[in-house]
Structure 1
Amino acid sequence: MFDLHRLRLLRELKHRGTLAAVAAALSYAPSSISQQLSQLEAEVGVPLLEPVGRRVRLTEQAEILVAHTEAVLERLERAEADIAASLTELTGTLRIAAFQTAALTLVPTALGQLRDQHPHLRVHLTHMEPERALPALQARDFDLVLAEEYPGNPHPRSTDLDQEDLLDDPLHLALPGPDTGGPLTDLRSLADHPWVMEPEGTPARHWAVALCRDAGFEPDIRYETTDLLLHLRLVEQKHAAAFLPGLVWAGQTPTVTLLNLPRGRRSRRITTAVRHGRSQHPAILACRNALQRVATAKPMP
């Protein structure tokens, strides 16, 4: 029978990419990781790693082992969930990752509900964008991730994860001035206007640039940041136009002019993601229920 600890190290290598990253995540020396994987190769009787430059990659046989290891770990998580469900009091630690606007507007109220209902549940919150948080969820760094999907550019939903829709967050074109709520009739008129957008490679940037290109122009992007509160401040100070979601205001009166976007481009979808084996854990169910209550009660501009 193969050693489960060594199988988990092989799985960690698949998800984290390098021996150094595995060692850092697990607080081991890289030499110790390498030695454990060499012993696993001896147990299996076939090569599991092959060199690629200065790195290593998994062989076909190693990929087979990792697939079976994922199934074993999912089953163990289901066992953990069943044990937690058999107890009368919810304890332990729940690790959440959330992007900025969700962390500012949805999570704090949900944390308050969890604290009141389950005072012995310890919750850790990390601010992290979905592009990094979802892979970290699969690597078991988190238990629940709040993610976002932009119109026409959704994250490919991993078959290893259970994702539930939380709410649709309206998107607007934001310009300096009071809120008018009027329809957007000509985005092309902003072709020469400065813009603030999220950095290159993010789903939000891809969506925003595509929207401008569909209107017939390449946006003049002068400011780049993942901080949507800075986006808002740059619009308020008349430095740039921006596309901003409703969660930026968290029910407060908008401080800038908001114009509607073309039909089919007017909202991003907010989801919660967990691993399949953990989806029925009482802490996950309690957190998802709390977030759903908050989302249902949250007014949007």
Structure 2
Amino acid sequence: MFDLHRLRLLRELKHRGTLAAVAAALSYSPSTVSQQLSQLEAEAGVRLLEPVGRRVRLTHQAEILVAHTEAVLERLERAQADIADSLTDVAGTLRVAAFQTAALTLVPPALTLLRAAHPRLRPHVTESEPEDALPALLARDFDLVVTEEYPGGAIPHPAELDQEPLLADTLRLAAPHPAHPAHPAHPADDGPPITLRSLAGHPWVMEPEGTAAHRWAVSLCRDAGFEPDVRFESSDLHLHLRLVEEGHAAAFLPDLIWNGRHPTVRLHPLPRARHTRRISTVVRRGRARHPAITACRAALRRAAEGVAKPAG
């Protein structure tokens, strides 16, 4: 019989990559983790780790063991959900991760709804981009992640994750006012819409290289026939907005950033097939029926339904 604690350490190593990362996440010493995994190898009767430079990687037999461990942990999470569902109150800690615009516009009203309906539930919210939050969800650092997918950039999620659509968020081209870059005019005063190609020689602000948002934005510019001059990179879309307002850059901004407020920069439509990012909630499949998860998802859906379009 395998020791479940040691199986979880092996699973942690798969998701976190190094013994040091596993040790830091679980408050162990690296030597303790290594010793426990050596005992698991003895239990399994096969080699589970092999050295690769200064690191180790899982063998094929270890991958088989991790796959079964995932199934066991999923069943245990389902058991926790069933027990919680048998109780009359929703309580405990719920760890939520959300990217910036969702954290600013969707999470606060959802928290208000949760506080009113389930005062003993303790949400713990972290702002985190999907590239970091989804691996952390698999590693059980979070219980629910609010994520985004850009046109043409849908990433297949592992089978152990459950995804639920939340909101379709329109993306628009944001261009500085040509005459008074530091004092943007009412968008309605700016004449006809401009094309993406007309901003080919203009500086751009985009999210950091390597993110789905960056890949989508660069691809959109290339499809329009030019390579964007990306001079500013940040995951903070409010910085993007300020750079456009001050006339330093063009950008792609989602409607969610306005949350019903009047846009302060010129907004122009993008090609219909490429102008919407899809926002979803993602949880581990075994935890999807947990009352805290279902309550949080319901609150986020209500918050999404209440999101106002930019005032025109």
Question: What is the TM-score normalised by the length of structure 2?
Answer: 0.94
Residue in 2 that maps onto 1:244: 253
- Alpha carbons 1:166, 1:270 under 8 Å: kept: yes
Corresponding letter in the other structure for 1:26: L
Residue in 2 that maps onto 1:278: 287
CA distance in 1, matches of 2:217, 2:104: 22
The 3-state SS of whatever aligns with 2:295 is helix
- Alpha carbons 2:160, 2:286 under 8 Å: kept: no
The 3-state SS of whatever aligns with 1:253 is coil
Q: 2:218 aligns with which of 178, 202, 209?
A: 209
CA distance in 2, matches of 1:29, 1:189: 57
Q: How many pairs does the alignment contain? A: 301
- Alpha carbons 1:100, 1:128 under 8 Å: kept: yes
Residue in 2 that maps onto 1:200: 209
The 3-state SS of whatever aligns with 1:153 is coil
1:28 aligns with 2:28: yes
CA distance in 2, matches of 1:76, 1:179: 54
Residue in 1 that maps onto 2:93: 93
How do 1:76-115 and structure 2 match up within 5 A? Answer: 76-115=76-115
RMSD after superposition: 1.2
Q: Deviations over 1:236-286 (max 9, x none)?
A: 111111000011111111111110001111110000000000000000000
Q: 1:268 aligns with which of 271, 277, 282?
A: 277
CA distance in 1, matches of 2:256, 2:78: 34
- Alpha carbons 1:170, 1:268 under 8 Å: kept: yes
Corresponding letter in the other structure for 2:80: E
1:152 aligns with 2:152: yes
Structure 1 residue 158 displacement after superposition? 2.1
Residue in 1 that maps onto 2:235: 226
Which consecutive segments of 4 or more residues in structure 1 shift more than 4 A?
Answer: 181-185
CA distance in 2, matches of 1:82, 1:69: 20
Corresponding letter in the other structure for 1:237: E
Q: Quickly say closer, same or farther: Cα 1:203–1:235, change in 2 above 3 A.
A: same
Q: 1:179 aligns with which of 187, 194, 202?
A: 187
Residue in 1 that maps onto 2:166: 166
- Alpha carbons 2:194, 2:268 under 8 Å: kept: no
Structure 1 residue 184 displacement after superposition? 4.7
Question: What is the TM-score normalised by the length of structure 1?
Answer: 0.98
Unaligned runs of 5+ in 2: 177-183
Corresponding letter in the other structure for 1:202: T
Residue in 2 that maps onto 1:191: 200
- Alpha carbons 2:16, 2:139 under 8 Å: kept: yes
Structure 1 residue 183 displacement after superposition? 7.2
- Alpha carbons 2:167, 2:280 under 8 Å: kept: yes
Q: Deviations over 1:9-54 (max 9, x none)?
A: 0000000000000000000000000000001111111111010110
